[in-house]
Amino acid sequence: MALDTETLKELIGTVERFVRERLRPLEHQVSQDDAVPAPVRQEIADLGLFGLSIPEEYGGLGLSMEEEVRVALELGRTSPVFRSLIGTNNGIGSQGLIMDGTEAQKRKYLPRMATGDLISAFALTEPEAGSDAGSLRTTAQRTEMGYVLNGTKRFITNAPHAGVFTVFARTDSKKSGSRGVSAFLVEAGTPGLSLGAIDKKMGQKGSHTSDVIFDNCEVPFDALLGEVEGQGFRTAMKVLDRGRLHISSICVAMAERLIDDSLRYAAERKQFGQPIAEFQLVQAMLADSKAEAYAARCMVLETARQKDAEMDVSTEAACCKMFASEMVGRVADRAVQIHGGAGYMEEYGIERFYRDARLFRIYEGTTQIQQLVIARNMLKSLS
Ligand code: COS
State the Cα–Cα distance between residues 361 and 202, nearest whole angstrom.
13
Which of 223, 151, 225 has the alpha carbon at shortest distance from 193?
151
For the segment 251-275, the average pLDDT, to the nearest whole number, is 98
Report the nearest atom of ligand 1 relative to the CA of 130: 45
CA distance 377 to 187: 36
Q: Are strands 193-198 and 209-220 parallel, antiparallel or unpaired?
A: antiparallel
pLDDT of 26 over the 80 cut: yes
Q: What is the pLDDT of residues 328-381, one digit of tens each?
A: 999 999 999 999 999 999 999 999 999 999 999 999 999 999 999 999 999 999
CA distance 121 to 226: 17
The burial of 114, by beta-carbon neighbours within 10 Å (0-12 exposed, 13-18 middle, 19 or more buried), is given as buried
pLDDT of 224 over the 80 cut = yes
CATH topology of domain 120-229: Butyryl-CoA Dehydrogenase, subunit A; domain 2 (2.40.110)
Residue 321 confidence (pLDDT): 98
Residue 225 has pLDDT above 80, yes or no: yes
Q: Is the pLDDT of residue 1 over 90?
A: no
Q: Write down the pLDDT at residue 382.
A: 94
Residue 159 CB-half CA count within 13 A: 24
Mean pLDDT (the chain) is 97
Whether the predicted pLDDT of 67 surpasses 90: yes
Residue 175 pLDDT class (50, 70, 90 cuts): confident
> What b/e sequence results for 82-108 when a residue is b if at least 16 CB atoms lie within 10 Å of its CB, and e otherwise?
bbbbbbbbbbbbbbbbbebbeeebbeb
Note the pLDDT of residue 172: 87
Over range 181-204, report the average pLDDT.
Answer: 98
136 CA to middle of ligand 1, Å?
Answer: 12
Element (H, E) at 146: strand 146-157
Would you identify the CATH topology of the domain 239-380?
A: Butyryl-CoA Dehydrogenase, subunit A; domain 3 (1.20.140)
In the structure, what pLDDT confidence band is assigned to residue 173 with cuts at 50, 70 and 90? confident
Nearest residue by C-alpha to atom 12 in ligand 1? 234
Q: Give the integer Cα–Cα distance in Å for 159 and 210.
A: 6
Contacts 24+ apart (CB under 8 A), 190-194: 190/217, 190/218, 190/219, 191/217, 191/218, 192/148, 192/149, 192/216, 192/217, 192/218, 193/149, 193/165, 193/217
Assign domain 5-115 to a CATH class: mainly alpha
Q: Is the pLDDT of residue 35 over 80?
A: yes
Point out which residues pair with 157 in neighbouring strands.
Answer: 209
Whole-angstrom CA distances from 98 to 109, 204, 226, 243 are 10, 27, 10, 13
Q: What is the pLDDT of residue 188?
A: 98
Q: What does the pLDDT look like over 82-126, one tens digit per residue?
A: 999 999 999 999 999 999 999 999 999 999 999 999 999 999 999
- The residues with which 153 forms a beta bridge, in sequence order, are 212
Q: Is the CB of 135 under 6 A from ligand 1?
A: no
For residue 99, the CA-to-ligand 1 centroid distance in Å is 16
Residue nearest atom 11 in ligand 1 by C-alpha distance = 234
End-to-end CA distance of the chain: 35
Q: Where in the chain is the domain with CATH 2.40.110.10?
A: 120-229
Instruction: Give percent of the chain above pLDDT 70.
Output: 100
The best mutation among 100, 168, 178, 240 to test binding of ligand 1, ranked by most ligand atoms within 8 Å of the C-beta, falls on 178
Within the chain, all domains assigned CATH 1.20.140.10 are found at: 239-380
Question: Which pLDDT score is estimated for 270?
Answer: 98
Residues of the chain with CATH 1.10.540.10: 5-115
Average pLDDT over residues 252-265: 98
Residues with catalytic annotation? Answer: 364
Q: Is the pLDDT of residue 2 over 90?
A: no
- Minimal CA–CA distance to 248: which of 161, 325, 342, 173? 325
Name the closest-CA residue to atom 15, ligand 1: 234
**pLDDT band at 174; cut points 50, 70, 90:** confident
